[in-house]
Amino acid sequence: MPAIGIDLGTTNSCVAVFRKGQVEIIPNEQGDRLTPSCVSFTSEERLIGDAAKQEAPINFENTLIQIKRLIGRTYDDPVVQEDMKLWGFVILNDGNKPKIPVVQCYERKVYYPEQISAMVLEEMKKTAENYLGEEITDAVITVPAYFNDAQRRATKDAGKIAGLNVIGMINEPTAAAVAYGLDRMNESERNVLIFDLGGGTFDVTVVKIQESIFEVQATGGDTHLGGEDFDNRMVDHFVEEFKRQHDVDVSVDRRALNRLRVQCEAAKRKLSVSTQAKVQIDSLHEGIDFRSSMSRARFETLNQDLFTKTIETVAQALEDAKMSKDEIEDIVLVGGSTRIPKIRELLENFFRGKDLCRTINPDEAVAYGAAAHAANLSNDESSLIKEFQLHDVAPLSLGVEVGGCDMSVIVRRNTNIPFKNTKNYTTSVDNQSSVLFKVFEGERAATKNNTLLDSFEIDGILPAPRGIPHFDVCFDIDANGILNVSGRDRATEKCQQIIISSDRGRLSKEEISRMVAEAERYRSEDALWKEQSEARNMLENYTYAIKHYIENPENCGDITVKEQSKVVDKCNEILGWIDNNKNTLKKSFESKKEELKSFCLPVLSKISGGTDLLESLEKKD
């Protein structure tokens, strides 16, 4: 059983496998190599991928997009608060965890982000299973380099809910570097800059490739910068324009905003190839049509600061890697937004006219690298992978709070992982009986500007003057970037192992098991639905075939008009029944078919070719 690599993107996902010495990107049932990371609930079924995306303009309350933005975050996270304003669906606050209510088959359901991501992952799993013809459970899932600990863990949980065994996680830019470097492992040492600008996140990574070792030198980026921000700038611009023209505010109308956003995204893509794009929406708001256009130059002006920010991040990453521009051999573009000409131009200028690498498909590089990593990890002889090693880094500094407000760093940003470091702390007042350690992530000196990950307490400290007790706090980051923290009181040998608690956006073990069971139920519901609709289609085809056959006067020489209309009437009766019984069990469709068959047989057997027709219809089943 091969292990697959999944790029679980904010906007699009992609799955790949390493087989017989090469990576294959796996197309989905529609033949697309990218599947929109989108789930939609309708009155009849659950849709995933492109079919779900099509629902967005009409059924936006139940069409969930960009769920990766929510994963591992708390409800009060400023990112969640900002994003909520833009989405057509609602976010609820459940003990500071975001939850999404939807109406599915006339029933209200509430989902955690992990469950929705799990549905996308399951779709990718199914895509791979159809293609490879066997069950797949082992997978490597990619995450943005900038994902924090809670986001990584939540992604892993989503994998679990989807029925996957997550054998590893790999940072997206590192995976892209593997895609680039896999067949360059024999060449001399080279430094590559990976520039990944997708729908919602931006990652820059400097990787040194030396023989079979991929060593990340530095990483930087922004968890809130990507294609959607460019779309939103355009939306804001048109909202203003609409206000000026008609003196009404479209931004209060969720449906209108959503329709406008879909059009803006399309216009943006058009602007990557032409210098002008039209935006036209009938009856956008209060019956008023909207007609406008956007030039490439204006689009670039609207986004100038965001575009410039990407270049500043590149400069920072080089500084962190202690490298000059000239030491970069190749610039690898990843993500749909790197198709924007201005972005390419700014990058080329920054690197003094250097050509950007064009051999790698920006949409597929991440899944490609993930599949290679999966083969590497699973040691599958048949995959014939040339072994390689990944040395990644921690994207953010990690530490604990001291003196009630200061950050004491235990793991510095850009430290190579896996990594383990222990630091010693003490009490601040005499006879302190317990000490609380708050774990933070971030680069600022004051903890109030960093992100609180979790906290733990060591109690039962023996009475002693301040500064005498000793506590060893150990931060241990594994190769997937997941942090384990432990604290130990030297005097009492008392240990505390930190488990990132559920109120920081994590799900508890019990909740995950419940969701695994729930996902299985949906899987069987989906299978049942598919089975029913197949049986329904079969009955419908069967009925129409008989009806068309008997309605043709050429076939009816040997029977009376009465016999003919009896069969036609019966067919019409069955078709009417199908219309009124769309959600009936497979069994009922099958028995209706038998009913029709025995009803028609006496008449059809009088006609030459009549029984042949029934036989050929049976064979089609």
Are 155 and 73 in contact by the 8 Å Cβ rule? The answer is no
CB of 581 to Mg ion, least distance (A): 44
User: CA separation (Å) from 222 to 81, 87, 91, 146, 501?
Assistant: 17, 20, 23, 7, 25
If binding is defined by CB under 6 A, does position 181 make contact with ligand ADP?
no
Closest CB to ligand ADP among residues 159, 200: 200
User: CA separation (Å) from 609 to 199, 601, 614?
Assistant: 59, 12, 9
Task: Work out whether strand 389-393 and strand 213-222 pair parallel, antiparallel, or are unpaired.
Answer: parallel
Closest CB to Mg ion among residues 16, 546: 16
Interface region with ligand ADP, contact rule CB under 6 A, candidates 51-59, 97-105, 221-229, 450-458: 221-229
CB-based contacts of 409, cutoff 8 Å, min separation 6: 397, 398, 399
Residue 340 interacts with which of ligand ADP, Mg ion, none, CB < 5 to 8 Å by class: ligand ADP
CB of 337 to ligand ADP, least distance (A): 4
Nearest 5°: the CA angle 104, 122, 147 is: 100
CA 287/CA 330 separation, integer angstroms:
52
What are the start-end ranges of the E strands in 127-179? Answer: 138-143, 165-171
User: Which of 270, 277, 200 minimizes the C-alpha distance to 238?
Assistant: 277
Length reported for the chain: 621
If binding is defined by CB under 6 A, does position 360 make contact with ligand ADP?
no
CB of 269 to Mg ion, least distance (A): 16
Closest CB to ligand ADP among residues 303, 447: 303
If binding is defined by CB under 6 A, does position 336 make contact with ligand ADP?
yes
Residues 239 to 298: which contact ligand ADP by CB under 6 A? Answer: 265, 268-269, 272
Nearest 5°: the CA angle 221, 222, 225 is: 125
Residues 508 to 547: which contact ligand ADP by CB under 6 A? Answer: none
At position 248, the amino acid (one-letter code) is: V
Residues 183 to 202: which contact ligand ADP by CB under 6 A? Answer: 198-200
Q: Is the peptide bond before 418 cis (omega within 30 degrees of 0)?
A: yes
Residue 339 interacts with which of Mg ion, ligand ADP, none, CB < 5 to 8 Å by class: ligand ADP
If binding is defined by CB under 6 A, does position 340 make contact with ligand ADP?
yes
Active site residues: 7, 68, 172, 196
If binding is defined by CB under 6 A, does position 555 make contact with ligand ADP?
no
If binding is defined by CB under 6 A, does position 335 make contact with ligand ADP?
yes
Closest CB to ligand ADP among residues 67, 461: 67
Are 175 and 365 in contact by the 8 Å Cβ rule? The answer is yes
CB of 34 to ligand ADP, least distance (A): 6
CA 422/CA 164 separation, integer angstroms:
33
What are the start-end ranges of the E strands in 301-430? Answer: 330-334, 389-393, 398-402, 406-411, 416-417, 419-425
Closest CB to ligand ADP among residues 173, 399: 173
User: CA separation (Å) from 507 to 72, 339, 437, 589?
Assistant: 9, 37, 22, 42
CB of 586 to Mg ion, least distance (A): 40
Element (H, E) at 15: strand 12-19
CB of 71 to Mg ion, least distance (A): 14
Interface region with ligand ADP, contact rule CB under 6 A, candidates 4-12, 119-127, 321-329, 502-510: 4-12
Closest CB to ligand ADP among residues 336, 442: 336
Closest CB to ligand ADP among residues 270, 470: 270
If binding is defined by CB under 6 A, does position 149 make contact with ligand ADP?
no
Enumerate binding residues for Mg ion (CB under 5 A): 9, 198
User: CA separation (Å) from 51 to 87, 417, 424, 470, 576?
Assistant: 18, 40, 55, 59, 28
Closest residue to ligand ADP in the complex (CB) = 227
CB-based contacts of 545, cutoff 8 Å, min separation 6: 613, 617
- What binding mask, one character per residue, do residues 10-49 give for ligand ADP by CB under 6 A, x or -? xxx-------------------------------------
If binding is defined by CB under 6 A, does position 399 make contact with ligand ADP?
no
If binding is defined by CB under 6 A, does position 219 make contact with ligand ADP?
no
Closest CB to Mg ion among residues 367, 396: 367
Interacting residues toward ligand ADP by CB under 6 A: 9-12, 198-200, 226-228, 265, 268-269, 272, 335-337, 339-340, 363
